[in-house]
Amino acid sequence: MPNHIHMILAVNKKTKVTISRMIKQYKAYVSKKVEYAIWQKSFYEHIIRNEKEYIKIKDYIKNNIRNWKEDRYF
């Protein structure tokens, strides 16, 4: 949908950066590029636990654009 984004993050187990920090930095970077804040404060996360689930979510993200015209904010 055009009013939100989906992404899959691959996180190394050894990293000390939290997912929350990664999202905060991404939002700050994009906001700086467009020169204003466009984000809600929260986000939804889900841990992908196996390849089957990864493929399902990857396909959902890939095909999500087909639903844009049905979104009332498009």
Residue range 2-11, pLDDT digits in tens: 678 899 998 8
- Strand (E) or helix (H) holding 20: helix 19-34
- What confidence score (pLDDT) does residue 2 get? 60
Residue at 14 is within a domain? no
Residue at 34 is within a domain? yes
Residue at 62 is within a domain? yes
- Domain hosting 56: range is 19-70
Q: For residue 40, with 0-12 CB atoms within 10 Å meaning exposed, 13-18 middle and 19 or more buried, which class applies?
A: exposed
Query: CA 1 to CA 68: how far, in whole Å?
Result: 5
Contacting residues for 38 by C-beta, under 8 A, at least 6 apart: 30, 31
Residue at 32 is within a domain? yes
Q: How many domains does the chain have?
A: 1
Report pLDDT digits (tens) over 18-40: 999 999 999 999 999 999 988 98
- What confidence score (pLDDT) does residue 1 get? 45
Of 2-6, 42-46, 59-63, the poorest mean pLDDT is in 2-6
Residue at 12 is within a domain? no
Residue at 40 is within a domain? yes
